[in-house]
Structure 1
Amino acid sequence: MIRATRILRREHLSGGEIVDRVVLDSGARHRRRVGMRGEGGMRFLLDLPEAVVLDDGDALVLEDGRLIWVEAAPECLLEIRAASEHALRRLIWHIGNRHIPAEIGADAVWIADDHVLADMIRGLGGTAEPVERPFRPEGGAYSGGQAHSHAHGHGQAHDHGGAHGDGHGPHHHPNADG
């Protein structure tokens, strides 16, 4: 099986033969070594020296130089907003106090869709609307910019850092429950 042994970050991608793509959620984008299958059917082994976060637009470099495009999959999230900057900061504090991976934007925060957390946010005066979009949780204080999370049960997660947000707007999911 052919191996992908390095990553070409999107800002350095300037050519090369893209032969397939993988569409991965935020948890699956934190990898070191795993067998993968592209959307076009190409099977390969991701075999990196250490675990890294793959971001939307990166490419995996196969041993023969061909590339596999990485695409962030849309996920069911809650888009959290508040009436003021101070109120949003307060909500961010409550989310962080629960060790929930979060993507923090200029005027909104996104977390995994969870009705218990949505009720908490609404009870604190914020809005929590279901959306479907790629999730790029923030890196933790000790993550060095790399991240992933492990779910520990309903409404709890353990963050090991995260990829950064890029300001792409949310896309509302018409069939999501709140």
Structure 2
Amino acid sequence: MRYFAAFLLLFAFAFALPACAQKKTTTQKVKIKKAPKKTVAAKAPIKPLAEPGPVLTFERTPCFGTCPAYTMQVFADGHVAYEGRRGVPMMGSKELKLPASAVTDMLNQAREAHFEQFQARYSQNTTDLPSTIIGVRQPNGKLKTVVLEEGAPENVRQFFTYIGNQLDTLAQLNTATPSADR
């Protein structure tokens, strides 16, 4: 029975193929004009973008309580892209400004704290803790991100507290959240 079905399919295909081949297709030849060659004495060097991205990112995540939740992207010139998500005085997207010297100070603190050696996550798997997430652009151009919930060594906690205090003030929060003090 299988052979018969295969034979019928082959037979139908054999009759359909010539019918498909008989359809005439029209093609038009299009002449393409070549653009005249331009001579350029010297190309100007491509300038890199002044700010390819944020040099520092900061986020406070929500909890089941009233923890403030917001994100910030800090650029080298002090421009800050802020988004208030929950439990903060400024809700929604805002453009904020820091002195460029403050950004430089935060990056210097990251270097002095050896941010590049921090673990990617400090957590002891306790539920309902807010996280503080900091990303710092490294010399190779990549953004290294560290998540802090609890159980971090003293130097990590101090750095997170320093950055948190700087950016909480900008976000108009009066006190740092508990996750920065762990």
TM-score scaled by structure 1? 0.23
Greater percentage in helix: 2
Q: Considering Cα pairs closer than 8 Å and 6+ residues apart, tell me whether 1 or 2 has the greater RCO.
A: 1
| Bigger Cα Rg | 2
